[in-house]
Amino acid sequence: MQIITIIIKHPFGNYSSERVFSMRKAASSALGAAIGIINGVFGAGAGAFCVFGLEKFLKLEDKRAHSTAIAVILPLTVVSAAVICFKTEIDWGMALKLSAGGIIGGFLGAKLFAKISSIWLNRIFGVIMIAAAVQMIFKVN
């Protein structure tokens, strides 16, 4: 946390460029570790957290952070999925249908991405996420 704070306060000043560079590496590794844990345990949401980390700690601009997050999460998802598939019975029919929809949606989403102002989208999804969260927390087993 200390390392991260220093980077936020002094992106370039007071430190030699080499030191800042190595701190960025350390911050990147720490961010990767946190994203990895979330992706493994929850199997979702690591992308959103990755965007948050890239913007806050590595100071990436909004749209760059979103695109970079996908590049980070994809390999992590492959290994997490491999572990889960190896240990549990996956309904492959469901996976296939979801993925078919996902490919179409992913293509459309990336096309729309450049054109849409995301702030209202973020707020709408935030509300949906909270509603879903409350339902999941209070649902009886």
Partner 1 sequence: MILIIIGVLAGIISGMGIGGGTLVVPALTMFCGTEQLQAQGLNLLYFIPTATVALCSHVKNKRVETENLWYIIISGLILAVAGSFIALSLDQGILRKAFGCFLLLMGAWEILKKPR
In the window 97-136, what residues touch partner 1 (CB under 8 A)?
A: 97-114, 116-119, 121-123, 125-130, 132-136
Q: Is 43 left (phi over 0), alpha (psi -120 to 50) or beta?
A: left
How far apart CA 66 and CA 128 sit, in angstroms, is 20
How near is the Cβ of 1 to partner 1 at its closest, in Å?
16
How far apart CA 119 and CA 76 sit, in angstroms, is 27
The answer to whether residue 51 forms part of the interface with partner 1 (CB under 8 A) is yes
The answer to whether the beta carbons of residues 32 and 40 sit under 8 Å apart is no
Binding letters toward partner 1, positions 64-103, x by CB under 8 A: xxxxxxxxxxxxxxxxxx-xxx-xxxxx--xx-xxxxxxx
How near is the Cβ of 68 to partner 1 at its closest, in Å?
5
Name which of residues 6 to 35 contact partner 1 (CB under 8 A).
24-25, 28-35
Paired tokens of 115: 């054109």
Question: How many residues sit in the footprint of partner 1 (CB under 8 A)?
Answer: 100
